[in-house]
Homo-oligomer: A and B are copies of this chain.
Amino acid sequence: MADTWVFDFQDGDATDKAALGGKGAALASMTQADLPVPPGFTITTDACRSYQQQSVFPDLMWKQVEEAIGRLEGLTGKEFGSSENPLLVSVRSGSAVSMPGMMDTVLNLGINEQARVGLARVTGDDQFAWDSYRRFVTMFGEIVLGVAPDRFEGAVKATLDMNGCDTPGNLPADALSGLVDRLKAIVYGQSRHEVPDDPFEQLRLTVGAVFDSWSNKRAQDYRNLNGIPHTLGTAVNVQAMVFGNSGPTSGTGVAFTRNPTTGEAHLFGEFLPDAQGEDVVAGMRTPLPIDHMAETFPEAYGQLLEIAGRLETHYGDMQDLEFTVENGKLWMLQTRSGKRTGRAAVKIAVDMAASGLIDERQALQRVSADQLEQLLHPLVDPAVEVEVIGVGLPASPGAVSGQIVLTADAAVDLSEAGTPVILVRHETNPDDFHGMVASRATLTARGGVTSHAAVVARGMGKSCVVGCSNMRVDFEKGLVRFDNVVLAAGDWITVDGNTGRVMAGQVATIEPETDEDFDILMGWADSHRKLGVRANADTPEDASEARRLGAQGIGLCRTEHMFFGEERIAAMREMIMAPNEVARREALAKLEPYQTADFEGIFTAMDGFPVTIRLLDPPLHEFLPNEQDLARELTDLKLRLRLLNGLDDIDRLLEEIHDREVVIAQVQRLAEENPMLGHRGCRLGLTYPEVTEMQARALFTAAVRCVDRGITVMPEVMVPLVGFEPELRTQAELIRSVAEEVFLYHGLRVEFLVGTMVELPRACLRADELATVAEFFSFGTNDLTQMTLGMSRDDSSRFLPGYVQRGVLPADPFQTLDIAGVGELVRIGVERGRGQRADMKIGVCGEHGGDAASIAFCHDVGLDYVSCSTYRVPVARLAAAHAALA
């Protein structure tokens, strides 16, 4: 093995993709199945690896290549450089994983002056021979000798103009002859290298260039970005040319064995008569739908249908085929797994499993989490071209269009009049809540994916893009400025919450749909996965939707979101402005009925499933109006005071000024340098135990009422931001004592758990101590990531995208868990927690709970469940199944 660097297609081990590359393995497989494949051979990835280390071809390799060419000459009856019957070959790179950025294909290699003559003689087509030469010189110059493509353009265009032609393939032979000379001269001028005449020299240089292209910058960057080892190397496939461009009985095409958009089981593809593959790519001629071949190439088409079926059966997956017809004869050039839409992926997987071609497990593995997600939200139609005017963070998925509104009130007014609107703000705060409800989407210039706008939008399942940093809103003039585009209130805009893109105008979208196939696949996922899947849901409506999507409980109910409604926020602010505990308790008493009713609704929706309720978490200032808005109002009021003529309004004005000043003073008192690290979570509960009391009373009262109505409730009370055991112990004691009071009062007991959100590095390190109190853990990986990486999700937009691009980080750590860092803390937390309390129920409730790679980690580390945004529940179910099958 070690000294065999070259395998003929009929000899290679078709299962050894690592050595032959994907393309080489497929060619070997097809050849050995007696499909019509032009003969050829593969130079292995081992040769490439050796070349990478030694900078020269390994010993014997070139000799083996020469021998393989010899065999090829024997098989085809053609000869390299022959003026009688010349052998031309294609040279294609092919690594084990498909990878853009590498040198790809050189066609017609072997052509030179004699071979051109030979080719003209064999085909009887002088023009064709010259055109083949032209194609070779162009590709060799560009790909092997590194000539920039635009260097050729002038010469080509001049020749075309002179001959009144639109494509070089139509030029007459003599024009092509002149063009070939000019192209050769350009190659030499640019690279100081002649295009060699010796076919072996052509081949030697081309193989070296393919090997070199493995380590060019683009390829390296791509591998860094996608975590592909640099040591894989690429194989090189050398194959006898067949010519789809040798006249009207020839052609070339690509075909999918099933429809890659819908998944329907019929051959789907395109065919271009009298053409080589590159002509299809160049797009200068429009190919025909593949079923046209049934009339024009009936025999080849019949054979293609039969081969397509065989290959699909052989590989057990929908195939993407490349083929050429040369003078009526079908030649297969490539087969590989075909890319497909989410809808097609589901249908193909379910159909194939139904027909017994694959089993359930394989069917599950055929559909990726990304593909599944396409089925759940409106997408920008990939077929249309869009002009992106801004890019922000995709905070809540869905692509929607609407007319721009700049205030919450305008959103309500217009939407009530039936106009679809999109709310555009610098950032949102609780005052904008009703405007977000009225809008189809929200777009903000500032903030991250945990900002107010993002969290509220996700809670409502509405599209949202935040942190669109090249956008400025000019409220005075009613304009929204992007880099080169200025839109006005009332203009149409499209917001793509799937990708973060912002587009002017109305862009065509594809509406989501799920069908029976989807339900079947999800059923299989549920039967294979080990991880439970819960939803993060804060309202009864959200809980019902989560249940419909298959959530087995709520892993995170953020109670503070219940305070953002119009009447509630007033009571909440009263609580915050309260000068003492008595006043605070009065305000809390107003909030309690709302919370009780919400909890009752959520418990009812989740009848029979656990509901994890997190106590108040954010710092209190988040519930107060924005300081700058207040200051602006105050300035206006004071100005009015100064300019006042009469005395009628003075009292009212002075009162308004006083009110503002009181609120501003409190806002300033509560202001924090770093609210993420501030007075929040259980720290609030320790400072204001009456808040914890109110929340506990509301939730246990709701639980008791539900039980009374025959509902099965399983509350799990979660104390947030715990770093020290005494914090948790104090809050747990308070919660349990309130529970006893409520149960005693109602004469009814409810089983419940008290646990904690593990979201501080310290909590992971001291999980053993926390586990003496906590009956469950839920890893809050959002905040845990922020703390562990010292990276604010809201503020990282200025550097994080660059980090991911340059490979400092493999992925956005707020989307995909940083397993090496944050993951290690999770692992420590699980070990130490279970070390203290072996049956500890442990879940994850950050955004990562809906991310496939992170779910795989959660499975590996032995968590009981993941909890994610409602809309990602199906994705999580599938990803959990993938993890179990891995």
> A790 an interface residue at 8 Å Cβ cutoff?
yes
Per the bound structure, the CA–CA distance linking A447 and B668 in Å amounts to: 12
Per the bound structure, the CA–CA distance linking A657 and B632 in Å amounts to: 17
Min CB–CB distance A740 → chain B (angstroms)? 23
Contact A765-B824, Cβ < 8 Å, known A724-B809, A790-B783, A802-B686: yes
Describe A's contact surface by its main secondary structure: helix
**Cross-chain contact A762 with B789 (CB below 8 angstroms):** yes
- Residues of chain B within 8 A of A789, CB atoms compared: 723, 760-762
Per the bound structure, the CA–CA distance linking A841 and B820 in Å amounts to: 25
Per the bound structure, the CA–CA distance linking A799 and B766 in Å amounts to: 21
> A787 an interface residue at 8 Å Cβ cutoff?
yes
A residues 824-847 in Cβ contact with B at 8 Å: 824-825
> A678 an interface residue at 8 Å Cβ cutoff?
yes
Partner of A760, one of B635, B687, B790, B802: B790
Contact A687-B795, Cβ < 8 Å, known A676-B673, A788-B760, A821-B723: no
Size category, A interface: 35 or more
> A726 an interface residue at 8 Å Cβ cutoff?
yes
Closest residue of B by beta carbon distance from A639: B639
**Cross-chain contact A821 with B675 (CB below 8 angstroms):** no
Min CB–CB distance A213 → chain B (angstroms)? 24
A residues 648-687 in Cβ contact with B at 8 Å: 672-679, 683, 686-687
> A791 an interface residue at 8 Å Cβ cutoff?
yes
Per the bound structure, the CA–CA distance linking A794 and B789 in Å amounts to: 19
Contact A795-B761, Cβ < 8 Å, known A723-B821, A788-B787: no
Per the bound structure, the CA–CA distance linking A824 and B686 in Å amounts to: 26
Closest residue of B by beta carbon distance from A799: B683
Closest residue of B by beta carbon distance from A687: B799
**Cross-chain contact A673 with B794 (CB below 8 angstroms):** yes
Closest residue of B by beta carbon distance from A619: B795
Min CB–CB distance A645 → chain B (angstroms)? 15
> A583 an interface residue at 8 Å Cβ cutoff?
no
Contact A677-B809, Cβ < 8 Å, known A639-B639, A686-B802, A723-B821: no
Per the bound structure, the CA–CA distance linking A448 and B730 in Å amounts to: 27
A residues 788-835 in Cβ contact with B at 8 Å: 788-792, 794-796, 798-799, 802-803, 806-809, 818, 820-822, 824-825
**Cross-chain contact B798 with A679 (CB below 8 angstroms):** yes
> A759 an interface residue at 8 Å Cβ cutoff?
yes
> A727 an interface residue at 8 Å Cβ cutoff?
yes
Min CB–CB distance A763 → chain B (angstroms)? 9
- Residues of chain B within 8 A of A672, CB atoms compared: 792, 794-795
Per the bound structure, the CA–CA distance linking A447 and B765 in Å amounts to: 29
- Residues of chain B within 8 A of A792, CB atoms compared: 672-674, 676-678
Residues 717-729 of A, flagged 1 when their CB comes within 8 A of B and 0 if not, give 0000101101100
> A786 an interface residue at 8 Å Cβ cutoff?
yes
Contact A802-B687, Cβ < 8 Å, known A631-B628, A674-B792: yes
Contact A762-B802, Cβ < 8 Å, known A631-B631, A724-B808, A795-B678: no
Contact A791-B824, Cβ < 8 Å, known A673-B676, A675-B674, A683-B799: no
Min CB–CB distance A448 → chain B (angstroms)? 8
Per the bound structure, the CA–CA distance linking A787 and B676 in Å amounts to: 10
- Residues of chain B within 8 A of A807, CB atoms compared: 726
**Cross-chain contact A795 with B679 (CB below 8 angstroms):** yes
Closest residue of B by beta carbon distance from A726: B808
Per the bound structure, the CA–CA distance linking A449 and B760 in Å amounts to: 22
Min CB–CB distance A677 → chain B (angstroms)? 4
Partner of A799, one of B676, B686, B791, B803: B686
Min CB–CB distance A182 → chain B (angstroms)? 41
A-B contact pairs, 16 of them (CB 8 A): A451-B673, A639-B639, A672-B794, A673-B675, A675-B795, A676-B676, A678-B795, A678-B798, A723-B791, A723-B821, A726-B806, A759-B790, A761-B761, A762-B788, A765-B788, A787-B790
